[in-house]
Amino acid sequence: MTSQKVDKHMRFMMLMIPKGYEKATAGSMPDAKVVAEMMKYNKSLQQAGVLLALDGLHPPAMGARIRFSGGKPKVTDGPFSEAKEVIGGYWIIQVRSKEEAIEWACRSPLSEDCVIEIRQVQEMADFPPDVQQAAAGFAELQAGRPA
């Protein structure tokens, strides 16, 4: 009925950027009510058959950054004073358009000033044939087998 321009199914990563998570202390956990709301939302994604994966991430205080500069990697333990926004978790969903991913993100029970960034997952088919060949050959080498 509508002039639908349905795209091939696409994968999107929804990156959750909770307000203030850059300052969260090691081992800090969200409260039970927040968790319950999030579980309900995750279940709705699962019931819609669109959820592929999800994970929560411990705060940066428990992490590390490796900065590449001048050819040498430099390791810094978290927290990172220069970081204004950090990732608290992600979902990977499979939907038929970027708009559909946006709609799902809008339905998440996130609180004030939280942000979800949506990024499309790169698939092999997105790349031109020569890149695909190279990627396949390279991957073979990594697996320890002749290309």
Partner 1 sequence: MTRDTHRAIEAVWRIESAKLVATLARMVRDVGLAEDFAQEALLAAFEQWPETGIPENPGAWLMTTAKRRAIDHFRRDQRLERRHEQFARERESQQQMAAADLEAATDDDIGDDLLRLIFVACHPSLSIEAHVALTLRLLGGLSTGEIARAFLIPEPTVAQRIVRAKRSLAAAHVPFELPRRAEFASRLASVLQVIYLIFNEGYTATAGEDWMRPALCEEALRLGRILAELVPEEPEVHGLVALMEIQASRLPARSGPAGEPILLLDQNRVLWDRLLIHRGLVALERARALGRSPGTNRLQAEIAACHARAQTARETDWNRILALYDTLIEVAPSPVVKLNRAVALAMATGPAAALESIDALVAEPSLRNYHLLPAVRGDLLGKLGRLEEARAEFERAASLTRNARERELLLRRAAGCQKRDG
Helices of type H across 1-144: 32-47, 98-106, 129-142
Count the helices and strands in the chain (H runs, E runs). Answer: 3, 6
Helices of type H across 1-147: 32-47, 98-106, 129-142
List the one residue from 87, 97, 108, 115 that touches partner 1 (CB under 8 A). 97
Q: Is 14 in the site for partner 1 (CB under 8 A)?
A: no
Question: What is the C-alpha to C-alpha distance for residues 109 and 34, in angstroms, rounded to an integer?
Answer: 8
Q: Is 53 in the site for partner 1 (CB under 8 A)?
A: yes
| Residue (74 or 107) nearer to partner 1, CB | 107
Contact track, partner 1, 98-117, x by CB under 8 A: -xx-xxx-------------
Question: What is the C-alpha to C-alpha distance for residues 60 and 96, in angstroms, rounded to an integer?
Answer: 33
Which amino acid does the sequence have at 63?
G
- Residue 104 token pair: 């799902």
Q: Is 4 in the site for partner 1 (CB under 8 A)?
A: yes
DSSP state of 78: S
List the one residue from 35, 83, 124, 134 that touches partner 1 (CB under 8 A). 124
| Residue (74 or 127) nearer to partner 1, CB | 127
Q: Is 142 in the site for partner 1 (CB under 8 A)?
A: yes
Q: Which residues bind partner 1 (CB under 8 A)?
A: 1-2, 4, 6, 8-9, 46-50, 52-53, 92, 94-97, 99-100, 102-104, 123-125, 129, 132-133, 136, 139-140, 142-143, 145
